[in-house]
Amino acid sequence: MEVLTEDLDLLDAGEPSDPLESIARQLLVEIGEDPDREGLRETPARYARWWREFTRYEPGSVDTLFETTASGNLVAVSGISVWSLCEHHLLPFSCRVTIGYLPQEKMLGLSKFARIAHQHAHKLQSQEQLSQQIADDVERLTGSGDVAVIGRGEHLCMAMRGIRTPATMTTAVWRGALKDSALRGELIALTNDGRQ
């Protein structure tokens, strides 16, 4: 009976029934804010909506394939911009992704590269894992073991806390024939991904 009384007290106090809203409200209290003041009244609800929207993002179909007569020729897609969340600090990082592969009999539809990148970015993540997961999907979908993924990210967990300085982190996954230095160089030259 005691638990029931406490639950009724919380409802009377205006506590949100949504667990994410409750967490946001408690966070505001813990950092010394008043969640009932004018600018913050709707913040817990917005916070809950954003987390659900971001982590439940559905990019749509990622498996549209076409026949190709360009087997073995390098295909590169660059400038794919995604946002993700550092799994260590729950802070955002932005990442520009370049994907290269050598198609075999099938090639992946152009928009599918961005959809794959977004699908893996919209969760708690590290940039290293993000690059690996994108490469895994491109390899699985195309049937080509010759895949490369380059990620260039800026992490708020470094820029806003600790050392508090911006920096760019680069990750690279090289598989199959794309481990060859000549093809690596061609991919970097085509996409200008060696820029500082």
How many domains does one find in the chain?
2
Give me the pLDDT at residue 68, please.
84
For residues 109 and 173, state if they share a domain. Answer: yes
Expressed as residue numbers, the domain containing 22 is 2-55
Specify the pLDDT at position 19: 97
* pTM of the predicted model as reported, rounded to 2 decimal places: 0.87
Looking at the structure, do residues 93 and 182 belong to the same domain, yes or no? Answer: yes
Burial (Cβ within 10 Å: 0-12, 13-18, ≥19) of residue 30:
exposed
Please report the pLDDT score of residue 13 as a whole number.
53
Q: Residue 12 belongs to a domain with what CATH number?
A: 1.10.286
Cα distances (angstroms) measured from residue 5 to each of 13, 14, 88: 12, 15, 38
In a domain, 40, yes or no: yes
Chain segment 22-43, per-residue pLDDT in tens: 999 999 999 999 999 999 999 9
Check whether residue 79 and residue 143 sit in a common domain: yes
pLDDT in tens, 47-101: 999 999 999 999 999 999 999 877 789 999 999 999 999 999 999 999 999 999 9
Estimate the crossing angle of helix 19-30 against helix 43-55, to 10 degrees: 120
Would you say 107 and 82 are in contact if contact means Cβ atoms under 8 Å apart? no
In a domain, 60, yes or no: no
Residue 130 and residue 34 share a domain: no
